[in-house]
Amino acid sequence: MLTLAYSPCPNDTYIFAALTNRLLGTDAPQVRVALADVEALNEAATHGTYELTKISYGAIPHLMDRYRILRSGGALGRGCGPLLVAREGAPRSIESLARARIAIPGERTTAYLLLRLLLHERGIAKFESPAMRFDRIIPAVATGEVEAGLIIHESRFTYRDAGLVSLLDLGDWWESRTGLPIPLGAILARDDLGLERARQLDGAIRRSLAFARANEPAIMPYVREHAFEMSDEVMHKHIALYVNEFTDDVGELGIAAADELFARARNANLIGAAEPRFL
């Protein structure tokens, strides 16, 4: 049985619900599923723990010796980038942020890579960035544990409820610099599965997504089960934002976005020479 890992976020559970719950018929692969925060998945991938796994694009340069990137199931788009948030009245200049403690959702996340790229552009190489689970960042900022936080996932829909303001939208920054969609997350297949098996799995993920779109009443209980602390409104906004045309197929535009992210990171000496390997 195939090992498959993804996050409990609504976009992932929506995409994989049919595959996970064996709703695609007897010809679909059977999977043993593990759910974890994306940074935990990034860490597990460095050990090759799962054959098929969700991953941050920020982690991919360190994984191309054992995984290839599938074309379906990923998270790319426009208007969906990480946000840098703080309490009302916080200094808004980049220079002042560099002197602050900025909570991040993990050192391998795309959000952190984008923040480092932006600060590199401003000539800032070092800043204090304590890592914590993405859902701890808003409370940490609100209570003053840190001065600012880099938020991802559904936090972009809820930070105002905690009295926080957005200082910077890293998605807007990325799109203004490149004109490309922002590559956030991807599905990787371990090399030992082989190329033909990877293609079959890519197709199964696409079928799972198609099933979800055509049969939402059948899969939404599974999505809701893993979004129990989230309102229905936020859950549906999350799916609408992160499940889009790039989820079906990353396409040439999505591949160009990934290439651009890695090229910029290499030029800033933030990653090595690894190239993304798409199916």
Q: What is the DSSP string of 73-93?
A: S-EEESS---EEEEETT---S
- Pairing between β-strand 148-151 and β-strand 83-87 as defined by DSSP bridges: antiparallel
Instruction: Specify whether 208 is located in the same domain as 126.
Output: no
279 in a structural domain:
no
90 has pLDDT over 90: no
Q: How far apart are CA 89 and CA 148, in angstroms?
A: 12
- What pLDDT score does 123 carry? 86
| Contact status, residue 126 vs residue 153, Cβ threshold 8 Å | no
274 in a structural domain:
no
Residues 86/261/275/75 CA torsion (nearest 10 deg): 70
218 has pLDDT over 90: yes
Average pLDDT over residues 140-157: 93
- What pLDDT score does 178 carry? 98
Residue 134: name the closest of 114, 158, 150, 157 by CA. 150
Instruction: Specify whether 54 is located in the same domain as 87.
Output: no
Which one of 161, 178, 195 terminates a domain?
178
- What pLDDT score does 92 carry? 74
Average pLDDT over residues 139-165: 93
Q: Which residue among 62, 120, 153, 236 is the active-site one?
A: 153
User: Which 3 state secondary structure label does DSSP give 12?
Assistant: helix
Instruction: Specify whether 149 is located in the same domain as 33.
Output: no
Average pLDDT over residues 167-196: 96
H helix intervals, 36-183: 38-45, 94-98, 110-121, 134-142, 155-158, 170-178
CA distances in angstroms from 47 to 8, 50, 62, listed in the order given: 21, 9, 11
207 has pLDDT over 80: yes
Which domain does 222 fall in, by range?
2-77+183-267
| pTM recorded for the entire structure | 0.94
CA distances in angstroms from 190 to 6, 103, 143, listed in the order given: 14, 31, 41
pLDDT tens column, 21-74: 999 999 999 999 999 999 999 999 999 999 999 999 999 999 999 999 999 999
- What pLDDT score does 93 carry? 76
- What pLDDT score does 96 carry? 78
- What pLDDT score does 127 carry? 84
Clarify whether 226 is annotated catalytic. Answer: no
Instruction: Specify whether 88 is located in the same domain as 110.
Output: yes
Instruction: Specify whether 111 is located in the same domain as 150.
Output: yes
How confident is residue 244, by pLDDT bands cut at 50, 70 and 90? Answer: very high
**Structure tokens given for 175:** 């799109």
pLDDT tens column, 107-132: 999 999 999 999 999 888 788 899 99
Provide the number of structural domains found in the chain.
Answer: 2
pLDDT > 70: percent of the chain: 100
42 in a structural domain:
yes
- What pLDDT score does 162 carry? 93
Instruction: Specify whether 190 is located in the same domain as 161.
Output: no
Instruction: Specify whether 192 is located in the same domain as 156.
Output: no
- What pLDDT score does 13 carry? 98
